[in-house]
Structure 1
Amino acid sequence: MYRVLTAGCALALGFTLSGFAGLSVEAAPGAAPQSDAPKFETLRDGTPIRADDAERLDALDLTYGEALRQALNEGNDETIFAIVAALRGRPQTVDDGALAGLVGEWKCNMTKIGGVTPGVIYPPYRCEIRVEGDALVFEKQTGSQLTRGTLHRDGDRIVYLGTDYIRGSTPPAYEDLPSRIDPKSLEQFFPDAGLLEVTGPRQARIVLPKPYVESELNVLQLAR
């Protein structure tokens, strides 16, 4: 039986403080110098997680409500039906044996809810869960927008921490992402933080609240 991920494999987060234009600020005598070191929290197993990613996960239920409210108010019947299908199914308890059973290839469908539009449903792609050393790795392998990262046990939750990137680019690992993220940057590498929910013997989903661009809630359905 393997660990989902050792704490040393994951990451930290933070933000950069910038001064006002034309204003010189001196550190108080004896004060520690300011730095761009990222701020972070830790999952229950000791894995570091970017502080804003931890906040996004903690506010998941609120994000669900906001995204669904927009979809139900503005979406057509086809869009609403697809969104309901993506979110249907009670998450099951996942022990280490069940986690091991997730390894392999999956068909995955991305549904984006709220934000720019009430909902967008994408065609099936190919995804994979595999073991690399002590890590359980998830990767979306086809499509123009990809994600790759690792799965971590956080009490009863299975947390996904990864990097969202565009096909053709070489993404940094989650732990190597900069502390300040610019959604307008031409080099689009964004932190992905979500929860893996197993809903059946051959079904699961990764729910990603408040992605950096386009939507309020992303749901990546997994089936095989």
Structure 2
Amino acid sequence: MKKLAALLALAPLAACAPLPGAPAIDTLETRNWREVVSDEDADRLRDWRATFHAALAEARDKGFAAQVDALGPTGDPDVTLPLGAVPTRNYRCRTIKLGTMSGAGTLAYVDYPFFQCRIRVEDDLLGFAKLTGSQRPVGLLFPDDAYRMVFLGTLVLGDEDRAMRYGADPQRDMIGALQRVGENRYRLVIPSPRFESRLDLIELVPED
């Protein structure tokens, strides 16, 4: 009931927000992601490690072992370094899709070329946005513990020029964990996305 009340309180502001640029991403009235996350998304995040292992196993079983091995620390669920202060800047980012959603008929491993992403200050939080490509996660990064920040956002598709606010459309909602996996190297783990794959990884490295 507490989470439902929080979501209802946000409803008048939950339509659309401009994509990153100007003005800023819409922020939520709370700094505790647990107060606004849906039960379904909370379950996704809670089970992220089991989902990660299952997605890796499926990709290996279906002939993509070499590609999985080539991911290095990005593809190892046991590599999670202390996060520290996340630099606000532009990043090169690529999306890796692992495993398949039941009935989706997709490959068990797909990686995409590097696109442009950005992490920047949004009021007193950080905002993450994938700026190019046909599928663009956009949202906020909430402090959680020493090893991760929690991403709550939505998926922008195709030529759409506005991002829905988290909670406006459950089919567009996204949850993930931002983790550090090396020197100036991060990943955004998105467990059980609603389309195509069992797990999405967004690898982030600073632009030169």
Output the TM-score relative to the length of structure 1: 0.69
Q: Evaluate the alpha carbon distance shift between residue 46 and residue 79 of structure 1 in structure 2; reply closer, same or farther with a 3 A threshold.
A: closer
Instruction: Quote the residue 1:93 is aligned against.
Output: 82
| Corresponding position: 1:52 with 2:76 | no
Structure 2 counterpart of 1:65? 53
Q: Is the 8 A contact 2:136 2:156 kept in 1?
A: yes
Q: CA deviation at 1:85?
A: 5.5
Instruction: Kindly indicate whether residue 187 of structure 2 is the aligned counterpart of residue 205 of structure 1.
Output: yes
Task: Identify the match of residue 158 of structure 2 among 147, 167, 173.
Answer: 167
5+ residue gaps, structure 2? 1-5, 9-29, 101-105
1:217 pairs with one of 168, 186, 199: 199
C-alpha displacement of 1:78: 4.3
| Deviation sequence 1:55-87 (CA, Å, 0-9, x none) | 000011111121111111002354333444631
2:64–2:109 CA contact under 8 A, matched in 1: no
Residue type at the aligned position of 1:122? Y
Cα separation, 2, equivalents of 1:143 and 1:149: 16
Between the aligned partners of 2:191 and 2:33, the Cα distance in structure 1 is 22
Separation (CA, whole Å) in 1 of partners of 2:60 and 2:179: 23
Q: Contact 1:83–1:111 at 8 Å: present in 2 too?
A: no
- 1:137-216 alignment, distance < 5 Å: 137-156=127-146, 157-169=148-160, 170-175=162-167, 177-179=168-170, 181=171, 190-216=172-198
Aligned equivalents of 1:120 and 1:82: distance in 2? 13
Alignment correspondent of 2:20:
none
CA distance in 1, matches of 2:182, 2:58: 28
- The total of aligned residue pairs comes to 172
Gaps of 5+ in 1: 1-10, 14-41, 182-189
* Change in CA separation of 1:80 and 1:178 when aligned onto 2, cut-off 3 Å: closer
In structure 2, what is the Cα distance between the partners aligned to 1:104 and 1:197?
A: 16
Query: What's the C-alpha RMSD, in Å, of the aligned pairs?
Result: 2.3
Post-superposition offset of 1:215 = 0.2
Match runs of 1:97-112 below 5 Å: 98-99=85-86, 102-112=87-97
Alignment partners' CA distance in 2, 1:158 and 1:126: 20
Counterpart contact for 2:33–2:150, Cα < 8 Å = no
Deviates more, 1:71-80 or 1:133-142: 71-80
Could you tell me whether the CA contact under 8 Å between 1:79 and 1:121 is conserved in 2? Answer: no
Q: Percent identity?
A: 30
- SS of the residue corresponding to residue 93 of structure 1 reads coil
Distance 1:77 1:94, change over 3 A: closer
TM-score scaled by structure 2?
Answer: 0.74
